[in-house]
Amino acid sequence: MLDIKFIRENPEAVKENIKKKFQDAKLPLVDQVLELDAENRQTIQEAQDLRTARNAKSKQVGVLMGQSKKDPSKLAEAEQLKAEVKADADRLAYLEGRETELAEQIRHIMLQIPNIIDPSVPIGPDDSCNVEVQRFGEPVVPDFEIPYHTQIMESFNGIDMDAAGRVSGNGFYYLMGDIARLHEAVLAYARDFMINKGFTFCVPPFMIHGNVVEGVMSQTEMDAMMYKIEGEDLYLIGTSEHSMIGKFIDQIIPEESLPQTLTSYSPCFRKEKGAHGIEERGVYRIHQFEKQEMVVVCKPEDSMKWYEQMWRYSVELFRSMDIPVRQLECCSGDLADLKVKSCDIEAWSPRQQKYFEVCSCSNLGDAQARRLKMRVKGEKGTYLPHTLNNTVVAPPRMLIAFLENNLQADGTVKIPAVLQPYMGGKEVLVPKK
Confidence of residue 80 (pLDDT cuts 50, 70, 90): confident
Residue 345 to residue 359: CA distance in whole angstroms: 5
Q: Does the pTM of the predicted model rise above 0.95?
A: no
Q: Is the pLDDT of residue 277 over 70?
A: no
Sign for the pseudo-dihedral over CA of 260, 261, 265, 269: positive
Residue 26 to residue 38: CA distance in whole angstroms: 19
Per-residue DSSP letter, 396:
T
35 Cβ contact partners less than 8 Å away, ≥ 6 residues apart = none
Tens-digit pLDDT profile for residues 335-367:
999 999 999 999 999 999 999 999 999 999 999
Of 396 and 267, the one with more pLDDT: 267
8 A C-beta contact, residue 339 and residue 216: no
- Lowest average pLDDT, out of 85-89, 204-208, 401-405, goes to 85-89
For the sheet with 386-393, list strands across it. 131-136, 325-329, 341-349, 354-363, 386-393, 288-298, 260-269, 200-202
Residue 282 to residue 148: CA distance in whole angstroms: 9
Q: If you count them, how many residues does the chain have?
A: 433
Q: Is the pLDDT of residue 278 over 50?
A: no
Q: What is the pLDDT of residue 70?
A: 57
Average pLDDT for 100-111? 96
Q: Is the pLDDT of residue 95 over 60?
A: yes
DSSP string, 274-298: S---GGGSTTSS-SEEEEEEEEEEE
Tens-digit pLDDT profile for residues 164-182:
999 998 889 999 999 999 9
Confidence of residue 404 (pLDDT cuts 50, 70, 90): very high
- Lowest average pLDDT, out of 46-55, 63-72, 137-146, 374-383, goes to 63-72
Residue 312 to residue 392: CA distance in whole angstroms: 10
Q: What is the pLDDT of residue 58?
A: 72
3-class DSSP state of 103: helix
Average pLDDT for 144-170? 94
8 A C-beta contact, residue 173 and residue 150: no
3-class DSSP state of 81: helix
Residue 387 to residue 341: CA distance in whole angstroms: 12
How many CA within 13 A on the CB side of residue 28?
1
Q: Is the pLDDT of residue 73 over 80?
A: no
Confidence of residue 378 (pLDDT cuts 50, 70, 90): very high
Confidence of residue 280 (pLDDT cuts 50, 70, 90): low
How much is the mean pLDDT over the chain?
92
Contacts for 420-424: CB closer than 8 Å, 24+ residues apart: 422/184, 422/185, 422/186, 422/188, 422/189, 423/181, 423/182, 423/185, 424/181
Longest dimension (CA), the chain: 112
Q: What is the pLDDT of residue 57?
A: 77
Tens-digit pLDDT profile for residues 121-133:
999 999 999 999 9
Q: Is the pLDDT of residue 159 over 50?
A: yes
Residue 202 forms beta bridges with which residues? 264
Of 19 and 278, the one with more pLDDT: 19
Q: What is the pLDDT of residue 433?
A: 77
Residue 76 forms beta bridges with which residues? none
**Element housing 145 (H / E):** none
**Element housing 250 (H / E):** none
Sign for the pseudo-dihedral over CA of 275, 135, 318, 332: negative
Percentage of residues in the chain having pLDDT higher than 70: 94
Helix axes 11-20, 27-67, angle to 10 degrees: 150
Residue 375 forms beta bridges with which residues? 252
